[in-house]
Amino acid sequence: MGGCSGQGNGIPQDSAAGSELPFDASPNPSRLPATADFPAFLVPVGTPLVISLQAPLSSTNARQGDVFQAVLDEPIMNSGRVVLPRGALVNGKVLAAKSGDTREPGYLRLGLTSIVSNRQTVPLHASSFFAKPKPLRTQAQQPQSPARLQTVNDAGDTLNARQPDVEFSTARRLTFRLLKSLSLPH
């Protein structure tokens, strides 16, 4: 018989006496269990999220509840490490919209709803972005025909004075800020 006399279950008898096997032990809340996931990356409150829209948005045709997609225009860093790369997909929603007319300018309020990280959609709690044209002023001091009259708001967006609506192209960068820290899977 080729067995060891002091081992019946593969554990030496002198070390098995009075000790528990690891899976029989009581949980120790001060230690991370061996099967626990590593902690997720945490993006702190106040972190700016700079995005670029995937398609233009305008107060002319946007309606409350419409959804839109964007991408991060700048990576999100944490401790010198990229936790969300430039180009990460961001989902958003039109929170309020009104088309402008000759009496009152239009406006848009946009919010972000989620971001995609490692193929998982993570809910976002970020500030909203509100845009409304400033009181109209002409670019040139000389009179122009009404069809050619244009105005510029403080953001540098060109607006038609006959219908002052907010329009964002895909080239326009919009900045939101996290209102609640973001826990990202890795």
Q: Which amino acid does the sequence have at 23?
A: F
Question: What pLDDT is recorded for position 76?
Answer: 93
Rounded Cα distance between 177 and 67, Å, is 19
Question: What pLDDT is recorded for position 84?
Answer: 92
Is the domain covering 46-135+160-186 a CATH 2.40.128.260 domain? yes
pTM for this predicted structure: 0.65
Nearest to 72 by CA among 175, 167, 156: 175
At a CB cut-off of 8 Å and minimum separation 6, what does 78 contact? Answer: 41, 42, 43
Question: What pLDDT is recorded for position 80?
Answer: 85
On whether the CB atoms of residues 52 and 70 are closer than 8 A, the answer is yes
Domain range summary for the chain, segments of one domain joined by +: 46-135+160-186
Rounded Cα distance between 123 and 179, Å, is 12
Question: What pLDDT is recorded for position 20?
Answer: 58
Q: Which stretches of the chain drop beneath a pLDDT of 70?
A: 1-40, 135-163, 186
CA 14 to chain centre: 57
Question: What pLDDT is recorded for position 146?
Answer: 44
